[in-house]
Structure formats: structure tokens, C-alpha cells
Chains A and B, each alone.
Chain A
Amino acid sequence: MTMRLWKIFGGLKLAGHKTMSMEDATEATPLPKILTLPLKQHIGHAAEAIVNVGDKVLKGQMIAAAKDYVSTPIHASSSGTVIAIEERPVPHPSGKTTDCIVIETDGEDKWIERVENANYRQLDASALRNIIRDSGIVGLGGAGFPSFIKLNPGPGNMVDTLILNGAECEPYITCDAMLMQEHGRKIIDGLNIMRHALQVERCIIAVEDNKRAAHTMLVNALQEHEAEYIDVVQIPTLYPAGGEKQLIKTLTGKEVPSNGLPINIGIVCHNVATAAAVADAVLEGKPLISRYVTVTGEGIEHPRNLDVLIGTPLNEIIELCGKRSEANQYIIGGPMMGFEIADTNIPVIKTCNCILIQNKKTEAEFVMPCIRCGQCAAVCPAQLLPQQLYWYARAKNFDKTQDYNLFDCIECGCCTYVCPSHIPLVQYYRFAKTEIWAQEQEKKSSDIARQRHEFRQFRMERKKAENEERKRQKKELLKKVSGKKDSADDAKKAAIKEAMERVKAKREAQSAIAKNTDNLTEKQKKEIAEIEARRKKAKEEN
């Protein structure tokens, strides 16, 4: 039970604000009239719609298919009719619109025929991955990376530890905590399936030590034989202990290499909610069509967790929990890494773990200059020098930002939190990263253009060379056979020459006729003769 834990660098002790949303048990929300399902709710390529407007769909029916390897399908969250496939606003910091399938529900909530695989142990890893992919499962911790990919270590990678992340270190968010309390068994089932797919021995479920109930429920849900290979571990409550790299360090003492992935050190890490979704998909044939969402914050009358169908309008679940009239700030995700939205007329998507509604707008304070106090460096869990990064990002000196390992920044927000000058540091790093990506994209496309141009040049030259080679070969061939053909050739050439001369003479005669030479004075005639002579001379010279 007592496993050795390692310390992570930096981090913050933050007020949790978690109990406020954990008093009531999680309840499913009423079926909404309209479900809006964006085609892109994950990292990677958007899915491709496989239904048309007017089609009747059943609950759990695949309505959009994965378009590429890094992509996942989308399923109808309830039965009804597709009434539109068009751009609608989605949860995004920029308030952008993307293609969505809009379903008008029929109230019957009728399931599609489901395939249950209680004996999943008879399936091989690839079959399990296919089920997980076809169920549209993505990382539910917030990132939304297609989960089946992380269950495919690839050749040459040995996985020895599977970690389930139940740390949930951000303040206010409690959806994972509630899920662990209410569905501990399902999470362990999902863990077993993932373990089977990865063929790993050791599993760890990590829970922050401010979630005693969740930890107890998980431990109680463990069967005796499972306890031999699954450790349910309490880790110190410290933001961002639930960051993937930080969690792995805490549990194993290993550091995921800079620019590397956990798989490089033999570790795979999934969120607890993802494990539960895997259990639903494999054991019950239910694709990912709902999730736990925390609705909380000072702007909410009854903060709580809800089991929400994907595609449900955010407005409806906020109203369900009672919005206070003073509420004026809406944040998707937690206060440290979430993003603010201006309009709540958007659907809940697979990655929405929390909607935080606050009363006071964090006012844009006067930003003082950096005084290099170094508090940012002291809390940075990636062990960077945030103030230097800020300095160079602000100066748009992007090469230098990379010297200072900009891309190891996990955007946890600790530096911004502690900055006494109130500099929006993370915002500068996001800006620098975006700029560098854009520059790389530009370079890539200009590289492609250059390569194309160079290849065209090469192709032209090759063609020219080929033509010349062909000509040369022809000539040689002609030379070879010339001995026999000489006389015939000469006759032909002479005939051609004769004909050409005839034509020439005729043309000259015609041009002469065309000239107006009647009634000319002697002087004019002389001039014309001179001109003609010059012309002839010029022609000959040419």
C-alpha cells in the first residue's frame, strides 16, 4: 500500500473550492430538444459526417467517421432526426464556429443495437483498440487525444506501467472525483481492459490526498487479486500534480524526456474518466455519448456535477444549476488552464470537464515591469526561467525562447499566478508558440514550393537531355544506314531544294507585281531600285 513517492519541483498550494460541487450525487440532465455535435471534439483531424440532413438516427449510432489515423468518430447522443449539418459556435477561446451535426431529439432515446464484449480477454489488443476507436473515446481529462493511439505503443516500445490519473489538481473541478466515488468499479474495469490491451503488469491509480472518499471507494472496489497489481495511491495535493509529466515523476521518479512522450520511458497514462468510458464501450457497447461535467463557481446557486449528453447546450445545464444574476464570467475548464467564453450558447463536448461561473471579472490590472524577482522560476514545474522566456517572447526573439526551452512549458499558469507585477506570462508563451508554429508552417510550405520548383527544373533538364539523347541516337542510326540510302537521299534533297526555290521565285514575283510601279518619275524609279537593292542585300546578309 505504501508506495514511495517522489517530489516534483515548484507548483502551488491552491485553495481547492471542491466541496461546494460535491454535496449532491451526480444526476443525468433531462434530454435536450436539440443536440449539437461538432465534428472535431478531439486532437487531430475532424471526423467526416456519414449522415445527411433528414436522416433518422438512433442513440449511439455513428454519425461521423474518423477521417485519418489521428481522429475519432462521433455518435448520436440520443435518437432523433438530423436537422442540419452546418457551422455552429463551439467551445473555443476564440468563439469560432465549426461544422456540427445538429439532431432534433424525438424523446424516445432509443438505442442502436449494441455489441457487448464481457469476455474481452478473448479479444486481442488490436480488436480492443478498434472498439475503443469506433466508440469515439478521447482523453477526458481535457486534452482530448484519441485514446486508442495511446493504447498502441508501437514496435520497439515496452510498456511496464499503466497509470490512471485521478489527481484532478485544478481548483473547482470535481467531475473525476465524483466519478471515482460513484463508479469506482467501472474505472477499475476500464483499467483492466486497457491493461489487457497493453499487456502490462503494473497499474497505478493516483488520487490527490484531498479526495479521501474517492480513494476509499476505489480501494473498496478492488477485488483481492486485483490489489496485487493495482496500486491506488494518494499523492500530495499540489497544483499541477495531475500534469502527466508531473504525475509520472511523483509516482515513479522518472522524468519524461524533454520533447519526449511517456511511452519513451515505458509508461502510459490515461484519465480515470477515460477508463470508465472504455469499460462502457467494451463491456456494454456504449460509445462515448455522455460525460460528467462540473458546474460550479460563485455565480452558481447549486454547484454540482451532472451526467451530460455530449451536444447538450451549455445554457441548459447552467440554468439547471441556477445561475446567479451577478454571474458574468464563464470559464470552460478550471481557473488555471481553462478558457473564458463570451457566449454560453454552445454545446458540451467530450473535453468539457467543468464550467466555472464567477461573479467578478478578473479585471485587467495595470501590468508593472518585470522586476526579475524569480518567484515564477521558483514555482515552474517544468523548471524553466519564465522571466527570461517572457523577456524574449516579448521581444519576439523566438530563437532565444527555444534556447530557454519554450516548448517544455505546459502552460499550467503557476508563473502568472505568482507574478507580483501581474504580467500575463503564459499568454506570452502561447503567443510565442503560435508564432513559431506559424513560422515553421510557412517554412515548410516554402520548402515544398522550392522543392517543387527544383524538381520542375530537374524534370525540364532531364527532358531536354532525353530529347537530345534521342536525337543523337536517331542521327547515329541514320549514319549507320546512310551508306545504302545516300543516292536516294540526294535525289530527294535535290527535289526538295528545287521545289523550295520555285516557291521562292514565285513569292518574289508576286511581291514585285504587288508594287505600284506605274507612272513613276525617273527619280522615283531610281529610288525604288536603290531600295530594292538594299533590301536584297539585307536579305542576303541575313
Chain B
Amino acid sequence: MSSIHSSPYIKTNENVTRMMLAVIFALIPGTLVYIHFFGWGVMINILIAIITALACEIGILKIRQRPIKPFIYDGTAVLTAILLALALPTLAPWWLAALGAAFAIIIAKHLYGGMGYNPFNPAMVGYAMLLIAFPKEMTAWIAAETHGLTFLNTLNFSLFNTLPDGISYDALTMATPLDTIKTQLSLGYTLDEVHSSHSSLFGNLAGYGWEWINIMFLIGGLVLIFIKVISWHIPVAVLGSLSIMAMLFNFADSGSYAPVSFHLFGGAAMLGAFFIATDPVTAAASTKGRLIYGAGIGILIYVIRTWGGYPDAIAFSVLLMNMAVPMIDYYYKPTVFGATGKS
């Protein structure tokens, strides 16, 4: 940026690429468990999203006449693609992941100035666009460990929209545990009734399969905190406020409101809290600001899941709080050294 070189003359070996790689590595255990429960579709989505994201990144960088190498190697485009792909239904047509990734990179990232300048989390913008534009494809989830599809079967569906003989798309797809709870509760059933009528959907803590995925993402997130790639503030605030909300309502009426464990382990809470809400570019800057930002996301997740139109609360909560970031940053600055004294 500048040819004048002033102190300091020593620096850490830390760089953006290493940070992004650390986040990507931390996603691996959760992703493997996800593949285990929900099939190769996860992998196919991730690959399609990464290829599309990189292609879009290179194309846009060329158009914007920016250096390509540093911005490809920084890993942000790949991370965006992975996060988006992890949020998609596992049995989905190829163009869903491709369109979402392209939208995330071109519209949400580069039209706002590229890496570091985007006010909204690109992966979540891509996800929200898909959810609104293609509600049918975006809500068609398969149940954990019930599909029996091979890698080739899944690839065939993704690319050519064909399933093996004897398996119909409608038979495979069903509502997610989160969605089920939401719909059934709104129909007047109690939580216990939902659990007994849809017992195959639920595990020990929350949704069957989902609980293990969440535990793995939780572990990955804790590692990121431990190696100081992310700070604890946002995940703790997100999960803390979500838990408090769930606890209060569940305590008041345990028949109509899902318990804390369900909210923490039944959907994408861990992925959201540790990997999505912590995207530094779109989060608040100060420590206090991050606590407010995270708490806002947690509360919104609960509100949207419980009373909103979609059960997919993470994306909208994150995007809504992204909007509030400039204001949070303005009002929550750290107290400067010496401000307590009188001058």
C-alpha cells in the first residue's frame, strides 16, 4: 500500500489465509458427521459451491482489475462456499448450490467492495435468496440415515434430477425436526405428542443425527477459540441468549415450547454461533459490541424459530444483526486508557 516503511519491523506469522484455513479445518469433523447422517449430497453441494465461488471470484477480480492470487489464496471465497453448502438441503439440484454461491460472491461480496467491505454475511445472503426464491427445493430435506442412496445416485439426482427406480423424491423428503416441531405445535399438539408421533425424527438431545452434527461443530468451534482464531464473545452471547430465551419459555409452558437442548442441538445453532456469526467482517468490532451483537442473534433465532414464518432462523438473525452493526459499533466503544481519570 505504501512504500514508506515505519516501525514495527517485526510481525506475527499470522495471516488471513491461515485464519480461514483454521476455520475450514474446524468445520471438517461436523461435516464428516453430516455426510455420515445425510449422505453424499453434502459433499456434492460443497464441491459445486466451491467451484462456482472460485470461478465467480476470479471473474469478478478480473473485471475489477484486482490482483487475483492473494484474494484466491486468502480462502474467504472457499469458506463462504462451504458455509452456504452446509446450510443447503442435502438432496438438491446442482444449480441450487451454484446459484447461491454465485449470488453470495458476486452480489453480497464483490458488489459491496469485496473481501473486508461486505456489510452482510455473503453465505447467509446467498442462503436467504435461495430460501425466498426456491422455497420448494430449499425445504426438501431427507431424514437422517434413511435414504439409502449411493454417491452416484446422489450425483445423478443433483445433475440430472433422476432417482433410482422405486424411490420417489416425495417419499424421501420430509420436514426437518425443527420444522416438524414448529408445524405440529402450531396445529395444537403438545411437545410430547409430537415426539411420540414423529419418534424417528428425534434423538436423545434433539433431532436424530442433528445432535451429533451440532456436537461436532461445537468441538470445532471450541478449538477455534482455543487457538485464538475467534474470540469467545459472539458464540457465548448467541448460545447464551438463545438458551435463556428457550429456558424461560419452556419453563413457563413446557408443553408448547421446545426445551433448551432442542434449540442448541436441533438445528444449525452451533454452526451459526461458532462459524457464521463470528465472521469478523460483518460482526461488531468491540468486545461489548460483540456481546450485544451475539445476544441479538440468539434472541432473534429464538423469535424466528418460535413465531416466525421460516424455521431457518440463523440466516435471517445474522443478516438482521449485520444491519445493526454500524450502530452497535458507534455506541459500544471500549473505554480508553485513562478515561476514568480527570484531566
Contacts and interface: CB of A to CB of B under 8 A. Distances in A.
Interface in A356-395: 358, 362, 364, 366-375, 377-378, 381-385, 387-388
Contacts of A381: 337
B68 to A, nearest CB: 12
For B1, B2, B286, the residue with the greatest tally of chain A CB atoms inside 10 Å of its CB is B1
Nearest to A10: B337
Main secondary structure of the interface of A (DSSP, over half): loop
A257 B2 CA distance: 34
B70 A416 contact: no
A385 B334 contact: yes
A257 B3 contact: no
Interface in A447-501: none
B11 A382 contact: no
Contacts of B333: 385, 388, 404
A396 interface: no
Contacts of B132: none
Contacts of A333: 7
Nearest to B282: A372
B28 interface: no
B196 interface: no
Contacts of B280: 371-374
Interface string B1-33: 111111111111011101100000000000000
Interface stretch (A61-69, A259-267, A278-286): A259-267
Contacts of A48: none
Contact of A368 (B7, B8, B12, B70): B70
Given A370-B116, A383-B335, A408-B338, A418 B2 contact: no
B326 to A, nearest CB: 11
B114 interface: yes
Interface string B112-147: 001111000000000000000000000000000000
Contact of A427 (B4, B283, B336): B4
B337 A258 contact: yes
Interface in B285-339: 285-287, 290, 329, 333-339
B117 A369 contact: yes
Contacts of B12: 417-418, 420
A413 B67 contact: no
Contacts of A329: 9
Nearest to B5: A340
Interface residues of A, number: 63
A419 B115 CA distance: 15
A245 B337 contact: yes
B341 A372 contact: no
A190 interface: no
Contact of A387 (B5, B285, B287): B285
Contact of B336 (A171, A264, A335, A408): A408
A9 B335 CA distance: 11
Nearest to A405: B336
Nearest to A425: B8
Contacts of B341: 254-258, 260, 264-265
A255 B6 contact: no
Given A260-B338, A260-B341, A385-B333, A417 B10 contact: yes
A333 B6 CA distance: 12
B116 A369 contact: yes
B338 A339 contact: no
A16 to B, nearest CB: 12
A260 B339 CA distance: 10
Given A260-B343, A371-B16, A420-B16, A9 B337 contact: yes
A362 B9 CA distance: 6
Contacts of A339: 6-7
Contact of A362 (B5, B115, B281, B342): B5
B254 interface: no
A358 B336 contact: no
A254 B1 CA distance: 39
A93 interface: yes
A335 B9 contact: yes
Contacts of B339: 255, 257-258
Contacts of A369: 114-117
A257 B290 CA distance: 27
Contacts of B116: 368-372, 421
Interface in A309-351: 329, 331, 333, 335-340
Contacts of A378: 231
Interface string A416-458: 1111111110110010000000000000000000000000000
Contact of B337 (A255, A338, A372, A417): A255
Given A371-B16, A387-B285, A417-B12, 19 more contacts: A93-B6, A171-B10, A258-B336, A329-B9, A331-B9, A336-B7, A338-B7, A339-B6, A340-B5, A362-B9, A362-B11, A370-B116, A377-B286, A377-B334, A382-B336, A413-B7, A418-B14, A420-B15, A424-B1
Interface of A: 9, 14, 93, 171, 245, 249, 254-260, 264-265, 329, 331, 333, 335-340, 358, 362, 364, 366-375, 377-378, 381-385, 387-388, 404-405, 408, 411, 413, 416-424, 426-427, 430
23 contacts: A254-B341, A256-B338, A259-B338, A259-B343, A329-B9, A336-B9, A339-B7, A358-B9, A368-B74, A371-B280, A372-B116, A372-B283, A373-B19, A374-B231, A417-B8, A417-B10, A417-B12, A420-B18, A421-B16, A421-B116, A424-B2, A426-B6, A427-B4
Interface of B: 1-12, 14-16, 18-19, 67, 70, 74, 76, 114-117, 231, 280-281, 283, 285-287, 290, 329, 333-343
